[in-house]
Structure 1
């Protein structure tokens, strides 16, 4: 469970301090880490017999052996070279250190698995509460799920940066359920609202852009109180990520609570979308409009259907804008200066975007 590199670093550090040669072996005598590689095969033959014995420590051919347990099963055997009392103490310290590492790594592994299964709805309700109690995880705390999508797959650098931002292993859960997405389940204070959640997202975005040199998108679910609802917040964040890619491509932080009508369109079946577009545009499509027309339409919507402000921002005469709107009305039967027609046209543009996205992603 503990990587060999961590084991090696640990005993190298202990040797630097104590000048005692140490090694770590598995229960069969295979060397996992050692400070004296050329001596390793001389005594590991005795490890299986030592593991099967009742003794917790043993002296064999000038080496002192110590057991490290995982739930009453010997996981590692530590050896220290020398027969002196001081060597025995150093060996006990080394085994104690490895034992603590094993407990810490196992707890982290168990929590990571628990959170993954919680997010993916792989746990029964009773198991959620039982395992939360066993892992010392509060069940009645305000939390929110973030999805941090990186452009590169297996971006371990970004994952480490996020873990460094939130070093507390008890209140935040940081994991990954696929190749590109980092999942953060953040505990919130009682008074924290959407403003604080947005601040956290902005901090993560800025830090990753600066330290990991990684362009990311962050999606946010809604805050939940009960631990069983964390999966709902995660699913909301997933939808926010997808809807943001379709309708809000310029935004790097997207919250489920701000998806608006895009959330409704995202849940429409494609045949219904095709029928709607056909009814609105007959044999035409917004894709057939030239760039100038689309730019005019978007700017008109941005300025809340204000003709004067739109013409000013487009650097065109008011009459030119009116001419373009009249031409659009002639082609589509929709007058964007009328609110009902404008909202119909806006929804139609969003539906077309959604259809194109679904076609490109093969549904």
Structure 2
């Protein structure tokens, strides 16, 4: 079904050219848009045309006004012209033809949107992918990458419309939404574009949505694929990158599947191994006994490459105070985080604990 805004623009153009007020109605005899509310025909006249069309197939009727009907994509549209002379009839016929073309274009867009959604969700057989892509004139061999955009406290439609304005959606690139709070952008790439350019695109999307739409977003992307059939793989990679980033890299605005570090490995570990590792490192649930200042100290210590002096300066505490807090962690875990090997074990344990907590929240 065409949007009321699209129909209103068409009606304004018809009035500008012909000089006649006009309106468009749907199959329920409800007015969708009009140039002048006082010039609308009676609903019963529209209903009569619909009934006559179903009986005889007649698509035009002239009474107090001129009515024209077209059926497109299982929807009926009725154009009413506030006039009955030859000029009004000619304008109505041109108008209904234009309305039919708009509906056809809209149907093509909807077909492409459904195809891309099915492709992303891996719901198509290989033969269906090739057949539908040919029918919809979508290139099969084309370098592409999938971006996953996650808005923070915003309507999906706002982000989706902004993305459509940024890219040639429906020509080479496709944007759609298949789940709550996730917008998917399938971006076509030039032969010379690689991951540096993709990272730049992601940064631009984040900045543009922040400035123009006033929406904060996080964005992830998968690897480059060469054929249409592999788009679902790039989507799954982007989805995994978003999930890993949500748990381990909450401060990052852009997440790449190729650059997930140790978070990727931990994310794929089974729960039984994670629990066994945590029992080994944090024997007696020591993780629950850490004070906030201890965790802050050790996180900052890691960020500053195990440098005591620099960490103390960043925390605005005396060096001895920092050493005391790190020694408290050692007493609780048996790990001296000032030693590289113990520091690595402790950091991995913290990440595993985050992963376990996220799994419990997801399953609850």
2-structure distance, mates of 1:289, 1:82: 81
Cα shift at 1:208: 1.2
1:169-188 matches, cutoff 5 A: 169-188=170-189
Aligned pairs for 1:138-217 (under 5 A) are 138-152=139-153, 154-217=155-218
Using the TM superposition, give the Cα deviation of residue 58 of structure 1 relative to its aligned residue in structure 2, in angstroms: 4.0
Residue aligned with 1:212, SS: coil
TM superposition shift of 1:309? 4.2
Pick the aligned partner of 2:70 from 63, 68, 75: 68
Alignment partner of 1:275 is 2:273? no
Contact 1:221 1:255 in 2 (8 A): yes
CA distance in 1, matches of 2:344, 2:121: 37
Distance apart, 1:119 and its partner CA? 1.1
| TM-score, length-scaled by structure 2 | 0.88
Deviation of residue 173 (structure 1)? 0.7
Q: Is 1:46 aligned to residue 49 of structure 2?
A: yes
Q: Determine if contact 2:143/2:189 at 8 Å carries over to the other structure.
A: yes
Q: How far 1:95 sits from its partner (Å)?
A: 1.3
Flag the 1:45–1:284 CA change in 2: closer, same or farther, 3 A.
Answer: closer
Considering only aligned residues, what root-mean-square deviation do their CA atoms show, in Å?
2.8
When residues 15 and 51 of structure 1 are mapped into structure 2, their CA distance, relative to the original with a 3 A threshold, is: farther
Structure 1 residue 134, shift from structure 2 partner: 0.8
Gaps of 5+ in 2: none
Deviation for aligned residue 1:299: 2.6
Is the 8 Å Cα contact of residues 27 and 51 (structure 1) preserved in structure 2? no
- Measure how far apart 1:15 and its partner are: 1.7
Q: Gaps (5+ residues) in structure 1?
A: none
Larger mean CA deviation between 218-227 and 9-18 belongs to 9-18
How far residue 304 of structure 1 moved from its aligned partner, in angstroms, is: 2.9
Deviations 1:32-67 (A, max 9, x none): 444522444346413433455466x64533644444
Q: Distance in 2 between matches of 1:295 and 1:241?
A: 25
1:242 corresponding residue in structure 2: 243
Report the number of matched residues: 361
User: CA distance change for structure 1 residues 94 and 282 in 2, over 3 Å: closer, same or farther?
Assistant: same
Match of 2:306 in 1: 305
Indicate yes or no: 2:126 matched with 1:125: yes
Residue 24 of structure 1 corresponds to: 24
**Distance in 2 between residues matched to 1:118 and 1:236, nearest whole Å:** 15
Q: Normalised by the size of structure 1, how large is the TM-score?
A: 0.88
8 Å CA contact 1:29–1:45 kept in 2: the answer is no
Contact 1:336 1:342 in 2 (8 A): yes
Distance across 2 between alignment mates of 1:29 and 1:335: 77
SS in 1 for 2:186: strand
Is the counterpart of residue 229 in structure 1 residue 230 in structure 2? Answer: yes
